[in-house]
């Protein structure tokens, strides 16, 4: 069996909120959460102050509304699981806008909560990791002009081709334990003469 | 004796032919022994009527046979299925009709249907105690093998999760289709990897072929003898030892019941079972589990005054029941049983020597919520420090 190893977390001592009216579905979700060692509470219609501490929120996709959540759509800091009854497109649109990472169809009985938890948790982690990566790529993109200027300066000072200049910069950045962008900033900030002489030894900015 | 005793249908769904027939036969025989005892007890105001079906180990047959038992024969209770594949196959039918499945095999956990009573061991009651015994004594470098379906996949996944925090290593993880006896390449790989132990999750005929091939390997290379590199299993019982023969001797298995476990009541039960089975056959945990399930069902019907699932379930979780394996109680949160795991070493004559037993019955933890991997890691680290665990260099160990 091929198996990309994703670690399945243990949910012991997690706290969960089930944002749903009292119903057999609410009871079933609470019961399943308890089996997983999760402390779970049902609330409706509003989250309380303590909910900010929750590790996961199950919410009603049928009767839910934006004002229930203390954060903007799509920016939930915890995994969200939608409890879906009506599959009306408008409701699903709203579920997606809230940023649900998984869903369960109502009525909920014995199964589904565990996989929803695993999948929603994974989706949130993955989204966080991707957002971090996008942030860092955007930052590098923004600083590309400085890198180009630094390459030019090294080309001129050392009388070498651009590829060679880039390679030296990369190597020097690595030796200094800096990112290429930080290294280039420092290089450009150093006095011209010194930078030209040292070529690849910028002073600390 | 009243002639108009109420009659309740009970489905007995066991594959008594096919690749894991030995297990199914033991399950059916245990259930029938309990059924006969119940039906010959005049103090009970009802009889149990068995509807027996044999899917022959063919997965596609389970669902329809189960539906039939419930719809045509009015069975509200079904005892049976051996493999997790077949259990998962019939649960939708059981849930749809709000029937109750009595499942009595060790399984991989991570399931909790409100319409299933799980009287077999879940992972904290089989592989965890097994590994707590094996890892500190033999080492934590393992080869994992299994039949290619959910039982093997999940038990091996759990094994990996237990081995890694101990600083151990999974040297290989291999699967064969149910029924395959093509174990040659896997055994060759094990011969080359020289693990500290082999976790066997093969089922039925594959398992027997594997033991025989490993026995041949041990004859060529004594460092593969069971006292040095044991094959350890979570589901091997007396009912298969005859099929494995000499090749099984010395290897280890976990079970919630072995013949020697328990006191005089167990001994009396064993004597009754042997007399019934005849031909030198010994009961196993599958036999005992199915027997206990049917006896439990009868007790619950008696107390509830109905076989209605809504009436029976509260009785089951309200108190504990006497079984050959000791007092059994069902956890109302998970529908799983509190059980006492034992570790057995296969001995001559188709039986196990019990080498370790849990000091007290263990509550079920089907999602391994309360398992602490650091505790196992500490046990292994302590054994390593004391020099009990073989060096990680496989060739540095003594040969027998």
Specify the number of domains making up chain A.
Answer: 2
Q: Is the pLDDT of residue B331 over 80?
A: yes
**Per-domain boundaries in chain B:** 6-121+261-338, 124-259+342-396
- If pLDDT is split at 50, 70 and 90, which confidence band does B398 have? very low
Same domain membership, residue A152 and residue A119: no
Regions of chain A where pLDDT drops below 50: 1-3, 202-205
Q: Is the pLDDT of residue B389 over 60?
A: yes
How large is the average pLDDT for residues B377-393? 75
Q: Is the pLDDT of residue B338 over 80?
A: yes
User: Which residues, at least 6 apart from A115, have a Cβ–Cβ distance to it below 8 Å?
Assistant: A102
**Is the CB of residue A25 less than 8 Å away from at least one CB of chain B?**
no
CB contact under 8 A, B333 and A31: yes
Query: Would you say domain B124-259+342-396 falls under CATH 3.40.50.2300?
Result: yes
CATH number for position A40: 3.40.50.2300
Q: Is the pLDDT of residue B12 over 70?
A: yes
Residue keyed to tokens 């695993």: A118
How large is the average pLDDT for residues B371-387? 87
Asked if residue A116 is part of any domain, the answer here is yes
Report angle CA B126, B295, B119 to the nearest 5 degrees: 20
Q: What is the pLDDT of residue A169?
A: 93
Plot region of B391 (φ>0 → left; ψ -120 to 50 → alpha; else → beta): beta
How far apart are the CA of A19 and the nearest CA of chain B, in angstroms?
A: 22
Can you name the CATH fold of B6-121+261-338? Rossmann fold (3.40.50)
How large is the average pLDDT for residues B260-286? 92
Same domain membership, residue A159 and residue A115: no
Residues of chain B with Cβ-Cβ distance to A11 below 8 Å are 367, 369
- Measured in whole angstroms, the distance separating CA A77 from the mean position of its chain's CA atoms is 9
Same domain membership, residue A161 and residue A102: no
- If pLDDT is split at 50, 70 and 90, which confidence band does B397 have? very low
- B132-190 tens-digit pLDDT: 999 999 999 999 999 999 999 999 999 999 999 999 999 999 999 999 999 999 999 99
Residue keyed to tokens 């019907």: B301
Partner residues linked to B77 by β-bridges: B10, B100
Same domain membership, residue A165 and residue A90: no
- Cα–Cα distance for residue pair B114/B314, rounded to 1 Å: 12
- Cα–Cα distance for residue pair A12/A36, rounded to 1 Å: 7
> If you write DSSP's letter for every residue of B135-200 in order, what string do you get?
HHHH-SEEEEEEESSHHHHHHHHHHHHHHGGGT-EEEEEEEE-TT----HHHHHHHHHH--SEEEE
**Is the CB of residue A32 less than 8 Å away from at least one CB of chain B?**
yes
Is B101 in contact with B115 (CB distance < 8 Å)?
yes
Residue keyed to tokens 């077999």: B120
Number of Cβ within 10 Å of residue B199's Cβ equals: 29
What percent of chain B is modeled with pLDDT above 70?
A: 96
Q: HSE of A141 in the Cβ direction (CA atoms, 13 Å)?
A: 6
Out of A1, A11, A35, whose CB is closest to B112? A35
Alpha-helical (H) ranges within A1-160 are 24-35, 89-98, 113-142, 144-158
- B13-63 tens-digit pLDDT: 999 999 999 999 999 999 999 999 999 999 999 999 999 999 999 999 999
Q: What is the three-class DSSP state of B14?
A: coil
* Number of inter-chain CB pairs under 8 A, A vs B: 36
Q: Is B333 exposed, middle or buried (CB count within 10 Å of its CB: 0-12, 13-18, 19+)? A: middle
Q: What is the pLDDT of residue B395?
A: 41
| pLDDT mean across residues, chain B | 93
Residues of chain A with Cβ-Cβ distance to B95 below 8 Å are 109-110
Interface of B with A in 154-193 (CB under 8 A): 175
**In the structure encoding, which two tokens stand for residue B399, read together?**
């040969």
CB contact under 8 A, B370 and A32: no
**Which candidate in A110, A111, A116 is best for mutational testing of the B interface (most B CBs within 10 A)?**
A110
Residue keyed to tokens 């243990």: A10
Q: What is the three-class DSSP state of A82?
A: strand
Asked if residue A10 is part of any domain, the answer here is no
Is B148 in contact with B284 (CB distance < 8 Å)?
no
Last residue of a domain, one of A116, A137, A158: A137
CB contact under 8 A, A12 and B95: no
Helical axes B285-304 vs B21-39, angle rounded to 10° = 30
Out of A1, A12, A34, whose CB is closest to B333? A34
What ipTM did this prediction achieve? 0.75
- If pLDDT is split at 50, 70 and 90, which confidence band does B372 have? confident
Instruction: Give me the domain span that covers residue A161.
Output: 143-198
B124-259+342-396 and B6-121+261-338 share a CATH fold: yes
Out of B112, B153, B366, whose CB is closest to A110? B112
Q: Is the peptide bond before A191 cis (omega within 30 degrees of 0)?
A: no
Asked if residue A6 is part of any domain, the answer here is no
**In the structure encoding, which two tokens stand for residue A169, read together?**
């910069």
- B341-352 tens-digit pLDDT: 999 999 999 999
- Of all residues in chain B, the one with the smallest CA distance to A32 is B112
CB contact under 8 A, A35 and B95: no
- Cα–Cα distance for residue pair B268/B118, rounded to 1 Å: 25
Q: What is the pLDDT of residue B235?
A: 92
Same domain membership, residue A50 and residue A74: yes
Q: What is the pLDDT of residue A195?
A: 60
Q: Is the pLDDT of residue B392 over 50?
A: no
Q: Is the pLDDT of residue B3 over 60?
A: no
- If pLDDT is split at 50, 70 and 90, which confidence band does B5 have? confident
Same domain membership, residue A105 and residue A37: yes
Same domain membership, residue A23 and residue A106: yes
Q: What is the pLDDT of residue B387?
A: 76
Number of Cβ within 10 Å of residue B355's Cβ equals: 11
- B291-318 tens-digit pLDDT: 999 999 999 999 999 999 999 999 999 9
Q: What is the pLDDT of residue A52?
A: 85
- If pLDDT is split at 50, 70 and 90, which confidence band does B386 have? confident
Q: What is the pLDDT of residue A132?
A: 95
């Amino acid at each position: 069996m091929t198996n990309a190893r994703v670690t399945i977390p243990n949910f012991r001592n997690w706290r969960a909120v089930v944002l749903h009216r009292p119903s057999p579905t609410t009871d079933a979700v609470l019961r399943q959460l308890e089996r997983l060692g999760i402390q779970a509470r049902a609330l409706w219609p509003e989250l309380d102050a303590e909910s900010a501490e929750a590790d996961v929120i199950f919410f009603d996709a049928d009767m839910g509304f934006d004002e229930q959540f203390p954060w903007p759509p799509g920016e939930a800091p915890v995994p969200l699981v939608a409890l879906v009854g009506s599959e009306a497109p408008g409701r699903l649109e709203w579920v997606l806008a809230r940023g649900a990472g998984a869903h369960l169809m109502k009525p909920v009985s014995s199964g589904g909560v565990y996989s929803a938890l695993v999948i929603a948790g994974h989706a949130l982690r993955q989204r966080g990791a991707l957002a971090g990566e996008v942030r860092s790529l955007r930052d590098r993109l923004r600083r590309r002009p400085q890198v180009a200027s630094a390459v030019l300066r090294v080309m001129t000072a050392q009388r070498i081709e651009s590829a060679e200049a880039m390679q030296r910069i990369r190597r020097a950045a690595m030796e200094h334990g800096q990112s290429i962008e930080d290294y280039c900033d420092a290089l450009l900030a150093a006095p011209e003469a010194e930078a030209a002489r040292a070529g690849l030894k910028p002073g600390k900015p | 004796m009243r002639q108009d005793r109420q009659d309740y249908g009970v489905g007995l769904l066991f594959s008594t032919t096919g690749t894991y027939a030995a297990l199914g036969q033991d399950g059916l025989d245990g259930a029938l022994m309990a059924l006969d005892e119940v039906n010959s007890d005049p103090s009970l105001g009802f009889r149990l009527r068995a509807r027996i079906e044999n899917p022959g180990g063919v997965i596609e047959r389970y669902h329809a046979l189960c539906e039939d038992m419930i719809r045509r024969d009015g069975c509200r209770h079904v005892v049976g299925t051996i493999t997790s594949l077949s259990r998962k196959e019939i649960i939708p039918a059981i849930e749809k009709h709000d029937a109750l499945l009595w499942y009595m095999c060790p399984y991989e956990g991570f399931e909790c249907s409100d319409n299933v009573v799980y009287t077999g061991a879940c992972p904290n009651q089989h592989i965890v105690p097994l590994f707590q015994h094996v890892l500190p004594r033999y080492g934590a470098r393992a080869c994992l093998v299994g039949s290619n379906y959910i039982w093997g996949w999940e038990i091996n996944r759990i094994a990996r999760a237990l081995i890694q925090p101990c600083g151990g290593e999974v040297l290989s993880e291999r699967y064969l289709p149910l029924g395959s006896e093509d174990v040659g390449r896997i055994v060759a790989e094990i011969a080359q990897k020289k693990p500290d132990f082999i976790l066997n999750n093969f089922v039925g005929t594959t398992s027997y072929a594997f033991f025989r091939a490993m026995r041949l390997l041990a004859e060529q290379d004594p460092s593969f003898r069971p006292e040095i590199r044991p094959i350890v299993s979570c589901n091997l019982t007396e009912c298969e030892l005859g099929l494995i023969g000499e090749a099984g001797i010395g290897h280890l298995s976990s079970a919630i019941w072995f013949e020697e476990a328990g006191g005089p009541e167990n001994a009396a039960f064993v004597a009754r079972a042997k007399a019934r089975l005849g031909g030198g056959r010994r009961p196993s945990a599958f036999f005992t589990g199915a027997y206990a399930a049917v006896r439990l069902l009868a007790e619950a019907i008696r107390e509830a005054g109905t076989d209605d699932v809504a009436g029976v379930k509260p009785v089951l979780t309200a108190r504990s029941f006497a079984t050959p394996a000791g007092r059994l109680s069902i956890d109302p949160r998970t529908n799983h049983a509190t059980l006492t795991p034992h570790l057995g070493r296969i001995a001559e004559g188709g039986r196990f020597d019990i080498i370790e037993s849990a000091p007290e019955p263990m509550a079920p933890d089907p999602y391994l919520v309360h398992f602490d991997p650091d505790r196992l890691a500490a046990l292994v680290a302590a054994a390593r420090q004391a020099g009990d665990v073989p060096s990680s260099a496989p060739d540095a160990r003594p040969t027998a």
